[in-house]
Amino acid sequence: MFSEFLQYLFTGITIGATYALIALGFTLIYNASHVINFAQGEFLMIGGMATVSLTAMGVPMLLAIVLAVVLAGVLGIALQRLAIAPAKNADVVTLIIITIGASIFIRGLAQLVWGKEYHVMPNFSSEEPIQIFGAVLNSQSLWVLGVGAVLVAVLVYFFTRTLTGKAILATSMNKDAARLVGIRTQVVLMLAFMVSALLGSVAGIVVAPITFTSYDIGIILGLKGFVAAAIGGLGSGMGAVVGGLALGVVEAMAAGYLSSDYKDAVAFSMILVVLFFMPRGLFGAKVVERV
Amino acid sequence: MMAQFSQFRLKGLVFLAIVVFALPLFISNPFHYGLATQIALIAGAVVGLNLLVGFAGQISLGHAGFFGIGAYFSAIMTSNYGWSAIPALVVGAIGVAIIAWTVGRPILRLKGHYLSMATLAVGFIIAIILNNERELTGGPDGMPMPAFDVFGWELSVFGQYSLFGMDISGDLAWYLFAGVILLAAVWLAQNLIDSPIGRALRSVHGSEVAASVVGVNTAKYKSLVFVISAVYASVMGALYGHFQGFITPSIASFDFSILLITMVVLGGMGSTIGVIIGAVVLELLPQVLADFQEMEMMLFGLILMLTMIFMPKGLLPTAANYLNKRRSKSAGGDA
Amino acid sequence: MFKDITRRASKFAAIAAAGLLAMNVQAAEPIRIGSFLAVTGPASFLGDPELKTLEMYVEKINEEGGVLGRQLELVHYDDAGNASKARNFASRLIRSDRVDIIVGGSTTGATMAAVPMVEQAGIPFISLAGAVVITDPVKKWVFKTPQTDRMAAERVLTDMKERGLTKVGLISGTGGFGSSGREQTLAAASAMGGIEIVADETYGGSDTDMTAQLTNIRGTDGVQTILNFGFGQGPAIVTRNYSQLGIELPFYQSHGVASDSFLELAGNSAEGLRLPASPLLVPDSLPADDPQKPVVEAYKTEYEARWNSKVSTFGAYAYDGLMLAVEAIEKAGSTDKAAVRDALESIQGHVGVTGTFNMSPEDHNGLEAESFRILEVQDGSWKLIN
């Protein structure tokens, strides 16, 4: 009994950590620009696919990872500069459609360059799973959790201790005021997209050994990340982490105890329930609307 | 000013009617009729969605769910229980209205992206149910749907009909039927926009707080328009299913929801004729791009992205704006 | 202002109408073979090798002089596995491109969406999709080349019974393939008797972890073996979760993963699992007197030489479909649709890659369950069991 529960919990936390990392990417861009970036999942895909294809070309794993992350970062900047910045006065829904167009474009390009097959990435350390009280944990799950924790710590440090991080926060709170105190908001937005892309690609790389990777892996993971971010409360880093983990655990528990057919429906119902009682998610800021 | 507004809208309707009825003069291939029929039915759903997005300013990322329920309810009732098409369509639409009202009240309290998220969740739950209830819906492989019938008279793409003494093929008959339905959908939408409800809605779009301060019951109007747009989707879904003859859960999918909202935004939020153009463009584009094969997806994304970047207000409003500007410039030159 | 919009829009409408007109293609001299396949999207691992196969063999047949002295022309569209698109493209093939025969439909949903149109137009249609509903009940104009999922289920359950395994845990994908496979497995088990499905779990097509479902099945009383019905990357993840959980029960997969790319994805975890498959995966293990041996070997060699990628069972469905179409057209002596259909229905002893086809008015698939071979993964490659 207990071992089964533990097994569902491990499964849920691993998936949930992935969702949390994607949700953080959403949060970052949302904070800086109030845009929901539907191309977030594609950063994940770029991370995994570029690493796999570079290693297949004989590039050492570590270098391949660095190059893949850099590629994603460049893509993030390009997305902001070429697609978001020119349309800065557009409606929010227009910006959403632009990011959807961008994600279809990136996916189409990836399919053209890398093909449609799924690819395997080996586990970073041992292929042997770890046994705990009768439940097993994939060693790669520890990497996902570890890398996730480090990234969260780095982000917290970045936003509370560095000038750039504070500038991003300031811009998110009040763009005009930020500009008045000398923050170059366009640069800040570009930075936010870049950091978000880096985050997404790292997530894509650490989960690839568990999920495999392909040109279209970003669609569903990106969507789940958005769901996690909304549960947690858009714009809250803490919310993204909690929302991601909660979503993962609920999915796994629903598959284990309720019905595997309806586990996704359970997860989506959870959002409705959360939003019903807390219209701004679990940790969303209570903002007074300016008239 | 209001009268001018209505007159402008009437011209839009007349223009649309001319396009709809003139099209058969230019095309004769049944495949093209089929495509045009599909576009007209989807455009009808988009006109309904536009009421919600363009006039009340609320974003729905789950509208395909209502489209799907309409289609599946009609399919199940007509093929498994021997119902006639129209009662099935009407009861389905009432059911969708009840569902939309029930989920709409709590959902529409939400703001911005939370509202999108909640509609997305509702859409997903509907799609999951349609996919899983295999005994009822045929599951992911879909289910067949009989031809549309009115009092024993059947409208089938494979039939032969006569209209005003002319022999017309089933494809053309379906096309004309869909065209009339689209015109009716537009007419209803325009009446709604010009009604007091429409004015209240526009005030909600402008500033919800201001609207409620001056005594507009914003929650009521938002729910009402949500229900109306869901019913539009349900009716069009049922007709779409009858036309297709076979439906799968993909018509209730998130992808299709996204496509519907993209049609609204691309064509021009708030412009009834504009969103129809959006539907035409996004349905024809894949047919045109089919020749590019591997590049199709990339090109589709690129075109969508560039259009929205350079025409953030949508195709029709941008074009109208451009023409207006040019004309006022030339008028200024004359003076 | 309104006039401008009208002018502008009518111009646009005229352009759109002209575009539609331009799509009309005149009927030409060559024999036109139409196809709609899931070349992209989640079922692209079906449509991609199918399209490659059609392209290369149409080329090859043309180099060798064509059929009835006429060249073949392939007209194909990508339906991305979407039923509505499939219906549109079927309509386009029949009414606009005016093809002589259709070989396509990677997924059951796409095939079934096209069926009403095909039946009405009266054009021979060879589907490449698996579910039993396509040819049962028999539809006048519809044929198919893959074995049905019912046969796969029967073949697997028979093999289980022979090994004395009678309590089966079932896990399946919620996509069309897995969902229909699940239904057929349940039906086959109750029809055969002496074997029981004791657990029944599912997973979504893009799920990334199936540990919870497998844990549930393992915890079911008396379960002796596990069968996974699904395709895509999902079954590979199930296989890896299976071995991570250290489940020792004999494991079966469906023919949905019968390709070398599955072995690559699943790696060591696939060791010891069995599945029903076409002999294409084990050409060398076939006895020299097996009539399929030369056909299978030739297809494998030619495909791999041309595309520099591993051959897959799904591509073979397209190979068989094309060759059946060619044989029927030759037998009919023309591309007259009714004559070709009659010829298709009377094809006997056509040795294909998937099996030997014996069509009849009652059977538009023409294969036996025995055409599936049971394979086992041993040392990272396929081994023929029987």
| Domain limits, chain B | 2-294
Helix (H/G/I), strand (E/B), else coil: C80: coil
Mean pLDDT of chain A, nearest integer? 89
**Residue A250 within any structural domain of the chain:** no
Determine contact: C212 vs chain A, CB below 8 A: yes
**Residue A266 within any structural domain of the chain:** no
Residues C138-147 pLDDT 10s: 999 999 999 9
**Residue A261 within any structural domain of the chain:** no
Residues C307-324 pLDDT 10s: 988 888 899 999 999 999
Please tell me the predicted confidence (pLDDT) of residue B27.
84
Question: Distance (Å, rounded) from C-alpha A206 to C-alpha A149?
Answer: 13
Please tell me the predicted confidence (pLDDT) of residue A134.
83
Q: Mind telling me how many Å the CA of B292 is from chain A's nearest CA?
A: 12
Question: Distance (Å, rounded) from C-alpha C94 to C-alpha C92?
Answer: 6
Residues A23-34 pLDDT 10s: 999 988 888 888
Question: Distance (Å, rounded) from C-alpha A272 to C-alpha B122?
Answer: 8
Question: Distance (Å, rounded) from C-alpha C105 to C-alpha B141?
Answer: 12
Contact C328, C344 (CB under 8 A): yes
Question: Distance (Å, rounded) from C-alpha A263 to C-alpha C213?
Answer: 11
Helix (H/G/I), strand (E/B), else coil: B226: helix
Cα angle C46, C49, C52 (rounded to 5 degrees) comes to 140
Question: Distance (Å, rounded) from C-alpha B18 to C-alpha A240?
Answer: 52
Question: Distance (Å, rounded) from C-alpha C385 to C-alpha A116?
Answer: 32
Q: Which residues on chain C are in Cβ contact (under 8 Å) with B251?
A: 84
Please tell me the predicted confidence (pLDDT) of residue B257.
95
Q: Which of B38, B134, B287 is nearest residue C183 as measured by Cβ atoms?
A: B134
* Interface contact flag, C42 A216, Cβ < 8 Å: yes
Question: Distance (Å, rounded) from C-alpha C120 to C-alpha C118?
Answer: 5
Provide the token pair at A264.
Answer: 């996704």
* Interface contact flag, B110 A223, Cβ < 8 Å: no
Q: How many domains does chain A have?
A: 1
* Interface contact flag, C40 B297, Cβ < 8 Å: yes
For the domain covering B2-294, report its CATH number.
1.10.3470
Q: Which residues on chain B are in Cβ contact (under 8 Å) with C231?
A: none
Q: Which chains touch C (3 or more CB pairs under 8 A)?
A: A, B
Q: Which residues on chain C are in Cβ contact (under 8 Å) with B26?
A: 14, 17-18, 20-21
Closest by CA position to C350, among listed C47, C100, C126: C126
Question: Distance (Å, rounded) from C-alpha B264 to C-alpha B267?
Answer: 5
Question: Average pLDDT for residues C165-187, to the nearest whole number?
Answer: 93
Query: Above 70 in pLDDT, residue C14?
Result: no
The larger pLDDT score, comparing residue C341 to residue B104, is at C341
In which element (H, E) is residue B209 found? Answer: helix B208-213
Q: What is the DSSP string of B299-322?
A: HHHHHHHHHHHH-TT-HHHHHHHH
Query: Above 60 in pLDDT, residue A287?
Result: no
Q: What is the DSSP string of B83-116?
A: --HHHHHHHHHHHHHHHHHHHHHHHTTS-HHHHH
Closest by CA position to B53, among listed B196, B261, B254: B261
**Residue A279 within any structural domain of the chain:** no
Contact C317, C256 (CB under 8 A): no
Closest by CA position to A210, among listed C213, C209, C380, C205: C209
Three-state SS for A10-56 is HHHHHHHHHHHHHHHHHHHHHHHHCCCCCCHHHHHHHHHHHHHHHHH
Contact A267, A230 (CB under 8 A): no
Query: Above 90 in pLDDT, residue C299?
Result: yes
Please tell me the predicted confidence (pLDDT) of residue B95.
96
Helix (H/G/I), strand (E/B), else coil: B329: helix
Contact A30, A38 (CB under 8 A): no
Using CA atoms in the order C296, C297, C303, C306, what is the torsion angle rounded to 10 degrees?
A: -160
Residues A175-186 pLDDT 10s: 778 888 878 878
The answer to whether the bond into C137 is cis (omega within 30° of 0) is yes
Q: What size, in residues, is chain B?
A: 335
* Interface contact flag, B258 A100, Cβ < 8 Å: yes
Question: Average pLDDT for residues C26-54, to the nearest whole number?
Answer: 86
Model ipTM over 0.95: no
Give B295-299's long-range contacts (Cβ < 8 A, gap of 24+).
B295/A108, B295/A112, B296/A108, B296/C40, B296/C78, B297/A104, B297/A107, B297/A108, B297/A111, B297/C40, B298/A104, B298/A105, B298/A108, B298/A109, B298/A111, B298/A112, B299/A108
Please tell me the predicted confidence (pLDDT) of residue A290.
45
Q: Do domains C31-147+295-369 and C150-284+372-384 have the same CATH topology?
A: yes
Determine contact: A136 vs chain C, CB below 8 A: yes
Please name the amino acid found at residue B17: A
* Torsions phi, psi for C206 (to 5 deg): -115, 20
Residue ranges covered by each domain of chain C: 31-147+295-369, 150-284+372-384
**Residue A284 within any structural domain of the chain:** no
Helix (H/G/I), strand (E/B), else coil: C360: strand
**Residue A4 within any structural domain of the chain:** no
Contact B138, C133 (CB under 8 A): no
* Interface contact flag, B129 A230, Cβ < 8 Å: no
Provide the token pair at C19.
Answer: 């575009």
The residue among B110, B125, B207 with the most chain A CBs within 10 A of its CB, best to mutate, is B125
Across the strands, what pairs with B162? B167
Q: Which residues on chain A are in Cβ contact (under 8 Å) with C213?
A: 255-256, 260
Q: Which chains touch B (3 or more CB pairs under 8 A)?
A: A, C
Residues B15-46 pLDDT 10s: 899 999 999 888 878 888 989 999 999 999 99
* Interface contact flag, B298 A112, Cβ < 8 Å: yes
Cα angle A221, A226, A229 (rounded to 5 degrees) comes to 125
pLDDT class of C2 with cuts at 50, 70, 90: very low
Q: Give the chain B residue nearest A39 (alpha carbons).
A: B301
Q: Which residues on chain B are in Cβ contact (under 8 Å) with A218?
A: none
Q: Mind telling me how many Å the CA of B133 is from chain A's nearest CA?
A: 10
**Residue A96 within any structural domain of the chain:** yes
pLDDT class of A197 with cuts at 50, 70, 90: very high
Question: Distance (Å, rounded) from C-alpha A238 to C-alpha A147?
Answer: 16
Question: Distance (Å, rounded) from C-alpha A215 to C-alpha A7?
Answer: 30
* Torsions phi, psi for C226 (to 5 deg): -125, 135
Contact C156, C227 (CB under 8 A): yes
pLDDT class of C8 with cuts at 50, 70, 90: low
Residues 6+ apart with CB under 8 A from B175: B23, B24, B33, B36, B37, B40
Reading across the β-sheet that carries C72-78, which strands appear in turn? C72-78, C31-37, C101-104, C125-127, C142-144
Beta strand pairing status for C356-357 and C350-351?
A: antiparallel
Question: Average pLDDT for residues C212-216, to the nearest whole number?
Answer: 92
Q: Mind telling me how many Å the CA of B23 is from chain C's nearest CA?
A: 8
The whole-angstrom distance between residue C96's C-alpha and the CA centroid of its chain comes to 26
Q: Which residues on chain A are in Cβ contact (under 8 Å) with C268?
A: 127
Question: Distance (Å, rounded) from C-alpha A48 to C-alpha A69?
Answer: 9
Q: Which of A96, A112, A271 is nearest residue B118 as measured by Cβ atoms?
A: A271
Residues A129-147 pLDDT 10s: 888 888 888 889 999 999 9
Determine contact: B212 vs chain A, CB below 8 A: no
pLDDT in tens, chain B (335 residues): 444 455 667 788 898 999 999 998 888 788 889 899 999 999 999 999 999 998 888 889 999 999 999 999 999 999 999 899 999 999 999 999 999 999 988 888 887 788 888 999 999 999 999 999 988 998 888 898 988 988 777 888 777 787 777 778 888 899 999 999 999 999 999 988 888 878 877 777 766 667 766 666 777 888 899 999 999 999 999 999 999 889 999 999 999 999 999 999 999 998 999 999 999 999 999 888 887 878 888 999 999 999 999 998 899 888 888 888 888 776 654 44
Please tell me the predicted confidence (pLDDT) of residue B254.
92
Please identify, in words, the CATH class of the domain defined by C31-147+295-369.
alpha beta
pLDDT class of A289 with cuts at 50, 70, 90: very low
Contact C77, C97 (CB under 8 A): no
Query: Above 80 in pLDDT, residue C94?
Result: yes
Mean pLDDT of chain C, nearest integer? 89
CATH topology of domain C150-284+372-384: Rossmann fold (3.40.50)
Query: Above 50 in pLDDT, residue C246?
Result: yes
- Residues 300-359 (C) with a CB less than 8 A from some CB of A: none
pLDDT class of C24 with cuts at 50, 70, 90: very low
* Interface contact flag, C208 A264, Cβ < 8 Å: no
Question: Distance (Å, rounded) from C-alpha A140 to C-alpha C71?
Answer: 55
* Interface contact flag, B297 A87, Cβ < 8 Å: no
Contact A217, A51 (CB under 8 A): no
Provide the token pair at B168.
Answer: 């017309």
Range of the domain at A192: 16-245
Q: Give the chain C residue nearest B320 (alpha carbons).
A: C5
Question: Average pLDDT for residues A39-56, to the nearest whole number?
Answer: 95
